[in-house]
Amino acid sequence: MALTQEREITVNMGPQHPSTHGVLRMIVKLDGETVVEAKPDIGYLHRCFEKLAEQKTYPQVITFTDRTDYLSAMTNEWAFVLGIEKLLGIEVPERAEYIRVIVAELQRIASHLIWFGTFSLDLGAATPFIYAFREREVIYDLFESISGGRLLYNYFRIGGLRNDFPPGWKEKVLEFLEYLEKKALPEYHKLFTGNRIVEVRTQGVGVLKPEVAIAYGASGPVLRGSGVDWDLRRDVPYGYYHKFDWQVITEKAGDVFARYLVRMREVEQSIKIVRQALQGMPDGEFLGKVPKVLKPPKDSEFYVRHEGSRGEVGVYLISDGTPNPYRCHWRSPAFVHLQLVEPMAIGWKIADLVAILGSIDIVLGEVDR
Amino acid sequence: MALAEQITAEFPSAQVTESSYGETLVKVAPEDYKKFCRYVKEGLGFSYPSDLTGTDRTDCLEVVLHLFKMEPNGPRLTVKVQVDRQNPKVESVTDLWPGVDWHERETMDMFGIDFEGHPDLRRILLPENWQGGHPLLKDFEDKRPERPRLVRGDR
Amino acid sequence: MSPIVASIIKGTVALLWVVLNALFLVWFERKVAAWIQNRMGPMRVGRWGWAQTIADGIKCLMKEDIIPLAADKPLFVIAPMVSVASAVLIWIVIPFGPGKSGVFSDLPIGIIFIAAVTSLSVVAVFMSGWGSNNKYALFGAMRGAAQMISYEVALVMSILGVVMLAGSLSLQDIITRQTEAGILGWYLFRQPIAFIIYVIAALAELNRAPFDLMEAESELVSGYHTEYSGLRWLLFMLAEYGHMLAWSAIAASLFMGGWTGPGLGALAGRIPAFDLFNYGIWPYLTGFFWFAFKTYLFIFLAMWLRWTLPRVRIDQLMDLGWKFLLPVSLVNIAATAVLANVWGWYAK
């Protein structure tokens, strides 16, 4: 092995590495164990979403939106569908709006659960991972029974949904929420949250200041973990969120632990929302009146802001009057958050880099699109 | 004072339109772009850079910047700047909003727009040795050799 | 029987003991992990998957032997062997049963021998990390060297308290000394601080979670044995479980009376017929049973911790070792010395 006089060592983490959550490559410069530079290299999962979307009609694109962030497919479909509904001025039936809220919040719970599992794995604890997957499995079974898919659903339709609940679904959801709230979440907290090792590994690590978070365009739990009281579900309302009683969760500290707490407490809020939505749900249609061929007016454009599981999902649609979008841009929160890794990780150890990377909850399918 | 009036008072050359979906669309000239962005951030308080992307308008390229304020139901501002298709160049705004760094890199990658003053303008989604041009341009042609399509049964 | 032949037989038996236990331990660990995680664990190969490790072992033996082109070949090849050697050598001095025939070789300097032999595993880790010519492996090796050396200090210091009470470095002597005062004579009760330090330091020495920094999967892929596969990787696994077994056995011997236990022979005082159990092979059988039982208690503890706790960070690990465990163990030694002189029962 050649000996050089360099003080720093460059380590190539990824694209195949246990803790890059997909195919992310980090080029990390280390001084001993301390991170001096951490440059993410992305694009390994680029599937030409935007170019493909230009070739397809609007309803066909919905299936692609599933595949951008495959852990949060329901919220992605909603974001895209919102944009077209806005452009065409389509009214969505009341029942469909309720079901949308329910499935989106269940999806948020599922996504946060997966995040909890993988994050604990990043810190070196294998057991919470299995526990989280056990609960997520139930949600996926629920989704399977309404949409037929377990990961990619294609459940949303422009103007509503593909189909209504199957009978007995509501009771199953309520039963699961009861189990999650009373049994699973306390178990997680007992196993992980109060653990001294978790505390010393995460508290004070990777602090993100609120003004930096805003200037970088951070969103979702990352932004709320820095103490910014901002949630698009409440502040730029869409859907029926204003009808329910729930809170936006914020944590002041801005470190890895704060982001962890925000997500865990958001699960509780989502449970609350789903319960209320299931209770207040009216009968009626699940698909509104929608023309056979969807042609938004020429040169109309709209930028949707939607609170996905990971943060602000933006869909920028430009129509040229044909059934295909002229331009469809997908702004993904993880893409923005990944820029924050380097400023947060410099000066911390390589083990902290992994924890920070885990705490911003990236899904590479969404980063690369 | 409404947002559109404020902008026209400060930048008379900017074309301001209100879309029927509640967005304020502002078209500025490339030379005014940076100055306008600085005004929008520091004067009007649009602190949240949601998105920056491009559009190919076939006669020109357009850089689109979506800006918001951190206030509930706040104004929605879309800044557009049209640049020459042959020599697309525009100033970078990364010093105003560091978060648009990667968005600008992606726009360069996909449309070939040169952001002057960007600290690290490299390809981001496509490989660094990609020679095939900028894929989101409307006249993009995939020049890679066509691979035979293998379907079960016709080996 | 010449001493050389005797040594060879003893060494082979020790090796066999380690291999058989490692085979069982891998299966046992997977079952324990599965039990903690609400899973079934291996179920396919044999009833309850009992032959899973054997199948895995055969698979590893069949694999292509890969040595990276840039590796330092001699170091790369020797490292796993050194690792296994240190795991097997410890067993020379650990007593399975009473008397001279209960132990391979009852060295009068048993504790020092153990400390010396386990230091070999640091060498093995460093050889593999350096020899692989891989940055992750090098990081793992660096961490391993730092971690094992610093925790060995605390480990030996914690044992010193026991040695002072027993007045001997031989493990057989330490065990017999403990039994003199019944179950309360166990050094677990007389040296509780030393016991806790021993458990923590031994976990670090074994590089088991929460101290598995040198093969930290989420950062270093798999640390010092990143480049190893097939047979050589198998040897590292064998050494890891061999060490775990050895350290648990030492814990059982030092703190919980080793092979002694309420055997049937102890009833001889009340029921004369049971006197039978004090002769022949019987004391060895009960001794072995209690020894294995206590050892497996510690192994289960190590597995339980591994599947429950997350991993600490390298600087926190070093802080814990040097700034907490070492001073506490030094205080413990001083306290032991004072107590042993002041309080007669304590030193008995």
For chain C, what are the domain ranges?
61-341
Residues of A within an 8 Å Cβ radius of B: 42-43, 46, 48, 50-51, 86-87, 212, 214-218, 228, 230, 234-237, 300-303, 305, 312, 314, 316, 318, 326-327, 329, 331, 335-336, 338-339, 368-369
Does residue C40 belong to the interface with chain A, where contact is any CB pair within 8 Å?
no
Q: How many residues does chain A have?
A: 369
- Whether B63 contacts A318, CB under 8 Å: no
State the DSSP H helix or E strand holding residue A104, giving kind and residue range, or none if neither: helix A94-122
**Interval B54-82: pLDDT, tens:** 888 888 888 998 888 888 888 888 888 88
Q: Give me the residues paired with residue B79 across strands.
A: B26, B65
What is the DSSP annotation of A24-56?
A: -EEEEEEETTEEEEEEEE--TT---HHHHHHHS
Pick A157 or C278 by higher pLDDT. Answer: A157
Whether the predicted pLDDT of A115 surpasses 50: yes
The percentage of residues in chain A with a pLDDT greater than 90, rounded to a whole number, is 9
Asked if residue B155 has pLDDT above 70, the reply is no
Question: Which pLDDT score, from 0 to 100, does residue C266 have?
Answer: 60
CA distances from A164 to A96, A102, A156, A361 (A): 8, 12, 11, 31
This complex has an ipTM of 0.83
Nearest CA distance, A355 vs chain C (angstrom): 9
Chain position carrying tokens 């989106």? A104
Give every CB contact of residue C51 below 8 A, 6+ residues apart in sequence.
Answer: C45
Partner residue opposite C218 with nearest CB, options A124, A195, A197: A124
pLDDT at res. A4? 56
B81 bridge partner residues: B28, B63
Q: Report the C-alpha gap between A57 and A49 in whole angstroms.
A: 13
Cα–Cα distance measured from residue C137 to residue C143, given in angstroms and rounded to the nearest whole number: 10
Q: Which percentage of chain A shows pLDDT scores above 70?
A: 98
Cβ atoms of B79 and B65 within 8 Å: the answer is yes
CATH numbers and ranges of domains, chain A: 60-362 (1.10.645.10)
Low-confidence winner among A170-184, A278-292, C117-131, C254-268 (lowest mean pLDDT): C254-268
pLDDT in tens, B80-122: 888 888 888 888 888 888 888 899 888 988 888 888 888 888 8
Q: What average pLDDT does this structure show over A270-284?
A: 88
- Could you read off the pLDDT of A343-353 as tens digits, one per residue? 888 888 888 88
Confidence of residue A109 (pLDDT cuts 50, 70, 90): very high
Beta strands A160-161 and A34-41: pairing type?
Answer: unpaired
Q: Does domain B3-116 have CATH number 3.90.25.10?
A: no
In angstroms, the Cα distances linking A348 to A206, A227, A334, A354, A355 are: 8, 22, 21, 10, 10
Gap between the Cα atoms of C80 and C127, Å rounded: 9
Listed range (A270-274, A287-291, A328-332, B103-107) with the worst mean pLDDT: A287-291
As a whole number, the mean pLDDT across chain A is: 87
Q: Which amino acid is at A351?
A: A
Q: Which of A2-6, B80-84, C86-90, C237-241 has the lowest mean pLDDT?
A: A2-6
Angle at B135 between CA B130 and CA B141, to 5 degrees: 95
Burial class (CB in 10 A: 0-12, 13-18, 19+), B85: middle
Domain ranges in chain B are 3-116
Determine the residue among A42, A52, A329, A342 to mutate to test chain B binding: the one whose Cβ has the most chain B Cβ atoms within 10 Å: A329
Q: For residue B122, what is the DSSP state?
A: -
* Contact check, Cβ <8 Å, B48/A214: yes
C307 and chain A in contact, CB less than 8 A: yes
What is the model's pLDDT at position A1?
47
Q: Region A216-228: what's the mean pLDDT?
A: 89
What mean pLDDT is reported for chain C?
83
Q: Does C39 touch chain A (CB under 8 A)?
A: yes
The C-alpha of B28 sits at a distance from chain A's nearest C-alpha, in angstroms, of 18
Contacting C with CB below 8 Å, chain A residues are 1, 9, 11, 17-19, 33, 120-127, 130-131, 134, 191-192, 195, 197-198, 200-201, 349-354
Segment (H or E) for B65: strand B61-68
- pLDDT per position as a tens digit, A145-198: 998 888 888 888 888 888 888 888 888 999 999 999 888 888 888 888 888 888
Contact state of C37 with A131 under an 8 Å Cβ cutoff: yes
Q: Is A332 helix (H, G, I), strand (E, B) or coil?
A: coil
Q: How confident is the model at residue C131 (pLDDT cuts 50, 70, 90)?
A: confident
Got the DSSP string for A113-172? Answer: HHHHHHHHHHTT--HHHHHHHHHHHHHHHHHHHHHS-SS----EETTEES--PPTTHHHH
**What is the mean pLDDT of the segment spanning A260-285?**
89
Q: Give the pLDDT confidence of C161-179 residue by residue, as tens digits.
A: 888 888 888 888 888 777 7
- Range in A58-67, B18-27, B121-130, C57-66 the model is least confident about: B18-27
Query: Given CA atoms A354, A356, A361, A364 in this order, what sign does their dihedral have?
Result: negative
Q: Which of C115, C116, C138 has the alpha carbon at shortest distance from C127?
A: C138
DSSP string, B31-57: HHHHHHHHIIIIIT---EEEEEEEEE-
Task: State the Cα–Cα distance between residues B28 and B36, nearest whole angstrom.
Answer: 8
Report the b/e string of B9-43 with b at 16+ CB within 10 A.
Answer: eebeebebeeeeeebbbbebeeeebbebbebbbee
pLDDT, tens digit, for every residue of A29-74?
Answer: 888 888 888 888 888 888 888 888 888 888 888 888 888 888 888 8
Q: Which two tokens stand for residue A21?
A: 């959550």
Answer with the residue of higher pLDDT: C345 or C117. C117
Between chains, do A302 and B21 touch, taking CB under 8 Å as contact? yes
Name chain A contacts of C210, Cβ cutoff 8 Å: 124, 197
User: In this predicted model, what pLDDT tens digit does every residue of C8-55 receive, in sequence order?
Assistant: 888 888 888 888 888 899 999 999 989 888 888 888 888 888 888 888
Output the six-digit token pair for B44. Answer: 């009007």
